[in-house]
Amino acid sequence: MLSVHTSPLHQPGTGDAGGMNVYMVELSRALAREGARVDLFTRCLGEDRPARVELASGVRVLHLAAGPRRPLPKEAMPGLVPDFARSLLAATAHSRYDVVHSHYWLAGQAGARVAGRRHIPLVHTMHTLARVKNASLAPGDRPEPELRVRGEAALARAADRLIANTVEEQVALRELYGADADRTDVVTPGVDVRIFRPADGRRAARARLGLPQDGFIPLFAGRIQPLKGPDVLLHSVAALLRDSPGLRGRLLVPVVGGLSGAGTRLPDELRDLGARLGLGDVVRFQAAAPQRELADWYRAADVLVMPSRSESFGLVALESQACGTPVLAAAVGGLPAAVRDEVTGLLVPGHDPDDYARRLRWFAEHPARAAAMGRAAAGHARRLDWRSTARGTLGSYARALRDRSSKAGQERRHVPAPAAASSRRCKRAAVPA
């Protein structure tokens, strides 16, 4: 497995680490439990981590030299792809792999080069799509570059198999990128119900986190960037208090996560917005939390709010539901697949704060019905586990190997290199075979 721009070891909810990081880690562990051996290759960032990290039995994270050993913005990453591919070829010169599975378009570019040289199939998961994101940008947000659009289109043609999280993503790949539906497999992500579960309930979770037992607590959890819509949440809370001022005394809105993407350009923007809206006594900003603590935040909340402008699936929604907490989410991307409208949560068409405010008021005024949604949510999430995801992924690998075998001797489809200059290469790290 390949990830160029973010490491499976990074804390989700910070920087470029999010659902994709969780996906790679949990899928790899589940694949290993099904009998596979998985090596996750990522870029060395000079974080004093060893060249090889044993993530689980049968799963290793291997760090490759590609450019300077420090974090870089995504905009600089295309120039590192050739270096990453060369390091990967050197590190795997004496190893045998059956499949290359790349995550996000940057890793796909490197994966295509390596899979071609090794004569093994390339399976690719996009995770997000530039054309989908660009169609739903927040005001003032930067569109994804044309270089990425072209890179994704090339991968849609070149990968032996594409894995989409939902049928909606499969359709977007076909309609926006010309991907062949016969080479696109829909494999739904899962949730770790050993960590994300109702456990000892809301009161105990609130006690551990120091939250008021009688509070009404809508939660935001995830990376703080315009794409995730935290500004929509704050405007919604302001509208809620305008129409229901009596809620102020018991309303608390935790925002759990770190700055990411466009959010890092104006790091105080969300806090400043909260202050301008008069929410300084209501909104509490919390750093991104490890999974076991994050599960307590889900359990403690009355509802998780996800006003995302784009979402390939929304693992956060699944985690919250697994903890018995319903979800109020935008009806975009994969969220309608993750959340059963009016059963495990409520879906909102669009991003009008007044629409979210009305639904937040419903959760505040109907705690018994919201609790019933939470119970249904926990049952819904239990049926979506990583074992099923791993088995679906293994099926995609098998089809890729079968298709590759049937095309033996044919010239592999070509993926053009990104049109950017390569950054200065750092000293290569020794990677054990």
Instruction: Give me 263's structure tokens.
Output: 């959010």
Which DSSP string do the residues of 349-371 spell out, in sequence order?
Answer: SS--HHHHHHHHHHHHH-HHHHH
Contacts (Cβ under 8 Å, ≥6 apart) of 72: 80, 423
State yes or no: 134 annotated in a binding site: no
Spatial distance between the Cα atoms of 400 and 236, rounded to a whole number of angstroms: 46
Phi, psi of 233 (to 5 degrees): -60, -45
State yes or no: 311 annotated in a binding site: yes
Phi, psi of 129 (to 5 degrees): -120, 130
Cβ atoms of 96 and 402 within 8 Å: the answer is no
State yes or no: 116 annotated in a binding site: no
Spatial distance between the Cα atoms of 201 and 182, rounded to a whole number of angstroms: 44
State yes or no: 16 annotated in a binding site: yes
Cβ atoms of 70 and 410 within 8 Å: the answer is no
Burial (0-12, 13-18, 19+ Cβ within 10 Å), 134: middle
State yes or no: 223 annotated in a binding site: yes
Element (H, E) at 110: helix 104-118
State yes or no: 11 annotated in a binding site: yes
DSSP code for 261? G
Beta-bridge mates of residue 304: 219, 327
State yes or no: 407 annotated in a binding site: no
Place of tokens 């935040």: 297
Pairing status of strand 59-64 against strand 38-43 = parallel
Cβ atoms of 107 and 113 within 8 Å: the answer is no
State yes or no: 165 annotated in a binding site: no
Cβ atoms of 50 and 408 within 8 Å: the answer is no
State yes or no: 389 annotated in a binding site: no
Rounded alpha-carbon distances, angstroms, from residue 45 to 73, 128, 131: 12, 23, 29
State yes or no: 17 annotated in a binding site: yes
CA-wise closest residue to 205 among 323, 303, 305: 323
State yes or no: 213 annotated in a binding site: no
Pairing status of strand 52-56 against strand 59-64 = antiparallel
State yes or no: 192 annotated in a binding site: no
State yes or no: 21 annotated in a binding site: yes
State yes or no: 319 annotated in a binding site: yes
Amino acid 401 reads L
Q: Mapping DSSP to helix (H, G, I), strand (E, B) and coil, where does residue 174 land?
A: helix
State yes or no: 301 annotated in a binding site: yes
Q: Which residues are annotated as a binding site for 1D-myo-inositol 3-phosphate?
A: 5, 16-21, 74, 104, 128, 148
Q: Which residues are annotated as a binding site for UDP-N-acetyl-alpha-D-glucosamine?
A: 11-12, 19, 223, 228, 311, 319
Q: Which residues are annotated as a binding site for Mg(2+)?
A: 298-299, 301, 325
Q: Which residues are annotated as a binding site?
A: 5, 11-12, 16-21, 74, 104, 128, 148, 223, 228, 298-299, 301, 311, 319, 325
